[in-house]
Amino acid sequence: MKIKGAEILLRALSDEGVDTIFGYPGGVVLDIFDEIYKSKFKHILVRHEQGAAHAADGYARASGKVGVCLVTSGPGATNTVTGIATAYMDSIPIVVFTGQVATPLLGSDAFQEADITGITRPCTKHNFIVRKVEDLARTVKEALYIARSGRPGPVLVDIPKDVSQAMTEYHESGPPKAPAHDPIYVPDVTALNEALRMIKQAKKPVVMVGGGVILGKASQELREFIEKVQIPVTHTLMGIGAFPGTDPLSLGMPGMHGTYYANMALTQCDLLINIGARFDDRVTGKLDEFAKNAKIIHIDIDAASINKNVIVDLPIVSDCKSALQQLNKMLLQNHFTIPEKDRKAWTQQIDEWKEYAPLSYCAGEKIKPQCVIETIYKLTKGDAIIATEVGQNQMWAAQFYKFNHPNTFLSSGGLGTMGYGFPAAIGAQIAFPDKTVVDIAGDGSIQMNIQELATAVVYNIPVKICILNNGFLGMVRQWQEIFYERRYSHTNISQIPDFVKLAEAYGAVGLRATKPEEMEAILEKGLNTPGPVIMDIHVEPEEGVYPMVRPGSPISDMDLGR
């Protein structure tokens, strides 16, 4: 029996296990939305297409599945570009379906036509334009496969209006034919043996883990590996939660706003084992000073990421899970042990660094943002999914909330997208309706996608938004303080909405704390109030994020703040 392309799209998605779409309708996708109406396919209507892309991203990060969104052509499609680029930089598997003008109109500058495949080519793992309805089902399957295989990433599928209206028979397609995306999973055994030899010889080793461990679902294997080799662990922003933040071997995050002890350990180690991270510039600082005395092992599924920024001594192209499984097996077979005396001096040195410069802040007459994060951690018992916006709020959340589980920290790392956190939190809450999901926001970035409060209210999505309200674009203000003699050019945003009234206007609950003695009670009330809640917490306006490594400096050269 022949069916419309619009129905084929939904059936193909359903056959691939997709049950949720975030989207926004428009003229050229009316046939698809009509099929959604008739099928009762779970669709979350956002209030802006950027919100749809970020919500799909948050859904993917929290669940480990592919996130899916659907938008119309022209501005609907171009509004997703920031969300696509965000997912691309952080290797997040999403598939974005965009409507397009009918194929006879392509290239004619028709109403709401945009070359979205051309626009997104630099920030998608792959993209398609479907010109024949017979190709639609296969393309859907390939798009989902490409998004989640190898190093994950976003894929875009552009569907002209006449393709969604055309009729053909639906056949479940076989395995996707996308050999270029087939990853190398099996690690080289010779390289793994060399890695074990290097670990055995090392006196001052450090393991650095990145988002690849989380995306590869290798956190348990990592914990088993660290338990055997007893090496301290530092994690990148994307690697938060891959290794328990409360474990004594955890060094926290390295880099520009990393811990003193993580940066010192990376600087002075004699062996660095990088598992699933890409040596981002915010982590390495001045390249020729980064781990300059260390032998470096790099395990990554993407061969193009190895030796790209940092030249390594032992490259291992493999997904993290396969490599760690094999390493753990070899450690067991070889009865691998490290005598305590061989690492005692290194362990003592790290303990001294931790004691010298722990993550800390000074209490004052106004609410300290770091204290807000610590209080949320206490009240949620460390068991919440935390999304963040970008800026100081993001760094404080990364520093002061101890993440013990993967897929619980959702943040725009590579692109640094303001406005990401709230719609991402909505996506995470859809994936886990019974979990506590909190968006740590700034008063600047929350306004980037505040319209999604309507989405949260309409669907009764109980996301909690904690706004660290300092009246500034905080991170940029901090740079102006340090580098521009406090010339706060256009970073003072004290003329902002009353967030409590704004929450109430949307039909949500709004709460406010302006004094330290009010803060915990307001947070506790907000976290325990049903439905979406905004908690407007007025914090110290000129509080800074420390430690801080100045651009171009080695990560050992840190400003520890006041």
Whose tokens are 């914090």? That residue is 539
Q: Which of 161, 321, 354, 368 is catalytic?
A: 161
Label the pairing between strands 94-100 and 155-160. Answer: parallel
Active site residue 329: no
Structure tokens at 468: 């660290």
Catalytic residue among 198, 418, 448, 475: 475
Give me the residues paired with residue 20 across strands: 42
- Say if CB 62 and CB 121 are below 8 A apart: no
Q: Measured between alpha carbons, how far is 338 from 165 in angstroms, rounded to an integer?
A: 66
The reply to whether 112 belongs to the active site is: yes
Question: What is the distance between the alpha carbons of residues 322 and 276, in angstroms, rounded to a whole number?
Answer: 12
- From the candidates 38, 42, 111, 378, which is the catalytic residue? 111
Whole-Å CA distances, 135 to 10, 12, 354, 448:
14, 11, 58, 37
- Number of neighbours of residue 224 by Cβ within 10 angstroms: 16
354 is catalytic: no
Alpha-carbon distance of 492 to 288, in angstroms, equals: 37
- Determine whether 111 is an active site residue: yes
The CA–CA distances, whole Å, from 318 to 76, 186, 208, 313 equal: 38, 6, 16, 16
DSSP secondary structure letter of residue 223: H
Number of H helices, E strands in the chain: 22, 21
Which one from 7, 16, 35, 49 is the annotated catalytic residue?
A: 49
Residues for the chain: how many in total?
A: 562
What's phi and psi for 20, nearest 5 deg? -140, 135
Strand partners, 271: 205, 295
**Helix, strand, coil percent content, the chain, rounded in steps of 5:** 45, 20, 40
Known catalytic residues are 49, 111-112, 161, 475
